[in-house]
Amino acid sequence: MLLRQLPGQHHFERDRQGRSGQLIWERYVKYQALYRKYRPRVFDDVKGQDIIVRTLRNQVKNGRIAHAYLFCGSRGTGKTTCAKILAQAACCLHPVDGNPCCECESCRSIQEGSSMNVIEMDAASRNGVDDFRRIIDEIAYPPGEGKKKVYIIDEVHMLTPAAFNAFLKTLEEPPEYAVFILATTDPQRLLPTVLSRCQRFDFRRIPADIISDRLRAVFEAEDISADDEAVRSIARRAEGGMRDALSIADRCVSFFPGETLTKERVLEVLGTADTAVWRSMLHSAVNGDASAMIRQFDDMLMDGRDVRQIISDFTWYLRDLLIFKASGGSSETDSLVEEDRVILLEDASGVDELQIMYYIEVLSELSWSLRSTMNTRVLAEIALINLCRPQTRKELRGSVEARLTRIETQLEDGVIRALPAQDGTLIREEPSHRERSPREAAASDEADIREREGQPAGSAGIREPGMAVAPELFRKIAAQWKQTMSSLPNRGRGEVLAACSEISCSGDEPDTILIALEDNWYRPFSSDKALLQNISDAIAGKYGVRPKIRFINASSESGEGRIRVDSKVEALQKEGILFPIEVE
């Protein structure tokens, strides 16, 4: 008895009657990669590109197919797949609601790769003038069957300038039956004359949730057992590429045939570590424990993991943590499951944003260096030690902030770590064994008041008007002035301030921000007390400080003695110019 033939496979069995013991059919199974076997054949099967799919399907349905398309996007997002579906739909004899019927003679020949009306070309290997002269000569002949003649040119950014120039005229005015579909991962390298002749579609990275749903459907069809954490791990590692996700799933299934895929098994195949390892490395960096950091790194190397992969994964963990902390748990972290959100929230509470940026800067510099060195382990160990000892990288912007944050953490723990004594031992001093300074006493009393009022003891309160702030924070206020003013309750006046005002400071008023406006704006704004309060509230809510605010007339008042805030704060400080700032 012959079994029913399934897509992508050929099943044969012996004749169950066993006539004369003769073998009638021999079972033969042909393997096909998951990303090829489950490649979408109609627009409805394409996931994560709803706007593009709807537009292309409507064009086919309404007979408005353009003569040239440009599909842009990162790998595995569906560019070539949509190009093939569009080509099949354009040539289909009986399209169904903008989708190819997949049953007519034209559709079958395109699926089998034998159609003369759909020509696929890889510009990475055929990028010369002669290749496009051949296309120009062939395009003069109409299609023998079907309605369109479609050229799919993949990696079109690899074409030489001479090939582009030879192709331009044909691309602009092809015959009415010709359609060009160009696909690229690097549209910036295309000539403007090419971009202007095409309808451009940008394929975005596919969200992890959509990839997870697709993986579950594939696993169910293939009778593969996998838990939810394993599916999510594969989806995240794919970084928005459906093809990458299916390829990773194929590797995992091949490594554990017939077994249930778990998160630990997926991480083993990928050669990476669990989130707990990255959390532990982060805590080692914050605490300045270089010994623990190197020990964890060495353990991963002994498990067979690659140095570059370890650094890349740790960097991405820090990136997720930074985005989570900066966006308050929203923005790009909306796709996080609750378990990951809780972990990031816990880690974010113990580290500052500038400190995380310093870590990412060190690791990014390391990743670049690892591309051209043979001693990858040595460089990685040096960089990891630099994470724990930011004083060794004073040239990096976040170095000082990382050191200050670590010192503050040690102070909160009741331990001050000084430089090693001459005998090599660390000096440890308990603050309770010495007399507290007035500033420490005031800070302690303020913490006690916050605790009685229900606020966290370590939370920073908003200072009263006239108090100074740190130079870096004042520079940040200036850099983000437009965004701050645009968020004011009075949107009209906020937009005016964002576009027309300039902030500065004066040595005579070191605790005041001066807002300079032209005469026609200065008069109504300077008398608006509610606006002054709104500006003060916006600065206090965003930066935790409340300096004095005063409007000045830019037309009548002299600019002498005033310092305009720019990015050269360090240079001005060296000249002895007083900023309305004090280091806390």
Domains, the chain, with CATH or none: 1-30 (no CATH), 34-203 (3.40.50.300), 208-270 (1.10.8.60), 275-412 (1.20.272.10), 471-574 (3.30.300.180)
What is the pLDDT at residue 404?
A: 66
Measured in whole angstroms, the distance separating CA 227 from the mean position of its chain's CA atoms is: 26
Our CA angle for 452, 457, 462, nearest 5°, is 95
Residue pair 377/415 in contact (Cβ under 8 Å)? The answer is no
What is the pLDDT at residue 561?
A: 52
SS (H, E, C) 224-261: CCECHHHHHHHHHHCCCCHHHHHHHHHHHHHHCCCCCE
Q: Which pLDDT band, with edges at 50, 70 and 90, does 437 fall under?
A: very low
Q: Which pLDDT band, with edges at 50, 70 and 90, does 105 fall under?
A: confident
Tokens of 135: 């296309």
Residue pair 550/466 in contact (Cβ under 8 Å)? The answer is no
Choice between 349 and 117, residue whose per-residue pLDDT is larger: 117
CA-CA distance, 156 to 164, in Å (whole number)? Answer: 9
Whether pTM exceeds 0.85: no
- Helix (H, G, I), strand (E, B), or coil: what is residue 440? helix
What is the pLDDT at residue 158?
A: 87
What is the pLDDT at residue 7?
A: 42
Beta bridge partners of 73: 203
Does residue 481 come out as left (phi exceeding 0), alpha (psi in the -120 to 50 range) or beta? alpha
SS (H, E, C) 155-182: CHHHCCHHHHHHHHHHHHCCCCCEEEEE
What is the percent of the chain with per-residue pLDDT over 70, rounded to a whole number? 72
What is the pLDDT at residue 448?
A: 53
Shortest CA distance to 215 belongs to which of 233, 197, 199, 198? 233
Give the Å distances, CA to CA, from 156 to 87, 171, 180, 187, 425: 17, 13, 11, 9, 64
Tell me which residue has tokens 């300079």: 516
Lowest mean pLDDT among 9-18, 373-382, 409-418: 9-18
Choice between 225 and 498, residue whose per-residue pLDDT is larger: 225
Could you write out the DSSP letters of every residue in 250-299? HHHHHHSTTS-B-HHHHHHHHT---HHHHHHHHHHHHHT-HHHHHHHHHH
Task: Give residue-wise pLDDT tens across range 356-372.
Answer: 888 999 999 998 888 88
Task: Give residue-wise pLDDT tens across range 144-202.
Answer: 776 888 999 988 888 888 888 888 888 888 888 899 999 998 888 888 888 888 999 99
Tokens of 35: 């990303």
